[in-house]
Amino acid sequence: MANVIVVGAQFGDEGKAKVTDLLAKNADVVVRYQGGCNAGHTVVVDGETYKFHLIPSGALYQKTCIMGPGMVIDPERFLSEVEALGNLISVDKLRVSTTAHVTMPYHLMIDAAEEDSRGDQKIGTTKRGIGPTYADKCARSGIRVEDLLDEKVLRSKLEWMIPRKNVILERLYNLPPLKVEEVFTQYYEYGQRMAKYVSDTAAIIFNSVGQKKNILFEGAQGTLLDLDHGSYPYVTSSSPTAGGACIGAGIGPTIIDRVIGVSKAYMTRVGEGPFPTEQEGEVGDMLRQIGKAWAEVGVTTGRPRRCGWFDAVLGRYSVRINGLDCLAITKLDVLDEFDEIKICNAYRDKTTGETFKELPSIGASFKNMEPIYETFKGWKSSTSECRSYKDLPVEARKYLDFLADELDVSIAIVSVGPQRDQTIVIEDPIHGPKRVLTRST
């Protein structure tokens, strides 16, 4: 294998877990580098569905699984997930970074209250306390996993922090205050239960590199939800992009050999924010509902996903931001029943009429973009039993070839169903050729 980053190339929910699971078989170490329990990863093995929120989805192969310093961890949910998955994974190989930040009860309360107060300005947060946890991290007032293990440090930090958070809870949101002793008792107990998993994970990764072990870096969410490069403010509070793997895991960029992007054969988005190719009528309903196993519902929130056609403009942007070497296309089988299929290949500004092949801005003007489509004939036959590229219907191959040409990146993997074996490997995603930038931007 090699040292490989798997990154979502759309708005999240692209099927990264299946790709990670596929690649984890040959990995020695799997590292999740950002996000918290706002993420949802689903893996289907032998008809059984496993859902992950914090633990890396490569855990089913009994690999060393690392939750890196770039993550934010809700201890209660972590311990519940360990218990739920304990008979399926080797928890002895699970490691949590000492310096990952902890989601506290005031983060959960503030997140929910703030989102509810936004009215028509809602961001679409999962209300899992992620944003407020990262905010405290940036304000240098956060609590880290290592603090849960030290009675004096934890008490001291809570005695300083909770009175300040209570001012916000009581005066701004009319919520009951938290009591220092109650929070301390609960979270110190969590720390004692977590202690056996807590390690200097950056050192583990560094040593693994020195031992020539294969490392797989797994992100949550997707490129277009990146705090810096996504559709701000409708973004997450961390960096799911490939660059975020280095910071969130604690490694230098020189050790990365390969970056694999994951995209659906169409597009989805959960929550608020602009979505140029969204289909709200019959097409959107079909994309969302086809196939029980592929039902488009958020793993974490249970919210129906907004669905639309593939957006090649955003695809090119994602290739550029992440430096993708290849793509994995998931859920091709969802398109099997369509008479015709569309790809957005350019935008038109609804105000000025100007057209764009490359993304002009991911800022405020993004909502003014309307899609210009290329239309393809549907293949109208099942792809779920295809196991090689040549097995795919001709029209399906034309569709994929167009995507590869337009995004200027090879498609290495195609998924045609949720099961592990419903996967077509077109080229070696790990040892294939490095991408050479040829498109002018």
Between 127 and 86, whose confidence is greater? 127
Q: Which residue has better confidence, 12 or 304?
A: 12
Mean pLDDT of the chain: 91
Query: Taking 70 as the threshold, does the pLDDT of residue 401 lie above it?
Result: yes
pLDDT at 292: 40
- Read off the pLDDT of each residue in 412-418 and give the average, rounded to a whole number: 95
Query: Cβ contacts of residue 121 below 8 Å, gap of 6+?
Result: none
Tell me: pLDDT of 121 over 80. Answer: no
Q: How confident is residue 310, by pLDDT bands cut at 50, 70 and 90? A: very high
Give 163 or 123, the one with higher predicted confidence.
163
For tokens 């709200």, what's the residue?
Answer: 280
Sign of CA dihedral 239, 241, 246, 249: positive
State mean pLDDT over 337-342: 97
Identify the weakest region by mean pLDDT among 215-229, 280-294, 356-370. 280-294
Classify each residue of 199-223 as buried b or exposed e, where b means 16 or more C-beta atoms within 10 Å of its C-beta.
Answer: bebbebbbebbeeeebbbbbbbbbb
Query: Which residue out of 21, 28, 41, 349 is catalytically annotated?
Result: 41
Per the annotation, the verdict on 229 as an active-site residue is no
- Rg (the chain; Cα; Å): 22
- Give the bridge partners for 415, in sequence order: 423
| Cβ neighbours for 139, distance < 8 A, ≥ 6 positions apart | none
Please report the pLDDT score of residue 295 as a whole number. Answer: 54
Q: What is the mean pLDDT of residues 293-305?
A: 58
User: What mean pLDDT is predicted for residues 121-131?
Assistant: 83
Give yes or no for residue 44 having a pLDDT over 90: no
Give yes or no for residue 413 having a pLDDT over 50.
Answer: yes
Q: Which of 85-89, 196-200, 436-440 has the lowest mean pLDDT?
A: 436-440
- In the predicted model, what is the mean pLDDT of residues 105-132? 87
pLDDT level of residue 441 (50, 70, 90 thresholds): very low
Higher pLDDT, 80 or 147: 147
pLDDT score, position 265:
97
Comparing 281 with 153, the larger pLDDT belongs to 153
Looking at residue 91, what is its pLDDT? 75
Q: In the chain, what is the greatest distance between 2 CA atoms, to the nearest angstrom?
A: 67
Please tell me the predicted confidence (pLDDT) of residue 278. Answer: 96
For residue 45, pLDDT over 70 is answered with: no
**Phi, psi for 76 (deg, rounded to 5):** -60, -45
pLDDT at position 120, please? Answer: 76
Angle made by CA atoms 272, 21, 254, in degrees to the nearest 5: 85
Q: Is the pLDDT of residue 298 over 60?
A: no
Question: Which residue is catalytic, options 13, 74, 147, 336?
Answer: 13
Q: Is 291's pLDDT higher than 70?
A: no
